[in-house]
Amino acid sequence: MSETNEGRLEEVKRSAKWLYCFMGPVDVQSISEDMNWQIEQVEKAQQDVEKHLNSYREWFEEQTNFSNENEWLRESLAFYADSKNYQVNVVDQWEPEIKVMMDGGAKAAKLLEELK
């Protein structure tokens, strides 16, 4: 709740007390009860807004995490899906290099560890 809203609610509460003290013979009790009920409703609504706002923040954070995980998965899949990474690069006749073989699944293992 913002400072403005809190300040305004406090002002309403003070007005309710002032009205109760100042009005005298009028049915102040009924007016005061109505104002107290309204104040309670506003406070409940503010609590509900805070609760929903916190739920939204948690949901948004989860979505951001899913987005990051999807990006990591795409990068890893792209590496294994790229046919160039399966081509033999002959450094010399006894030591052929194949990127996927050299990786030995390290990219996938690292990704799986990060997703735990």
Question: 19 pLDDT band (50/70/90 cuts)?
Answer: low
Cβ contact 107:65 at 8 Å: no
**What are the tens digits of pLDDT across the range 67-108?**
878 888 888 888 878 878 777 766 666 677 777 777 877 887
- Whether pTM exceeds 0.95: no
The structure tokens 């939204």 sit at 56
**Structure letter (DSSP) for residue 92:** S
Helix, strand, or coil (residue 19): helix
Report DSSP state, residue 95. Answer: -
Tens-digit pLDDT profile for residues 25-40? 556 567 778 888 888 9
Strands (E), the chain: 89-90, 96-97
Write down the pLDDT at residue 1.
46
Q: Of 53, 11, 13, 50, nearest to 32 (Cα)?
A: 13
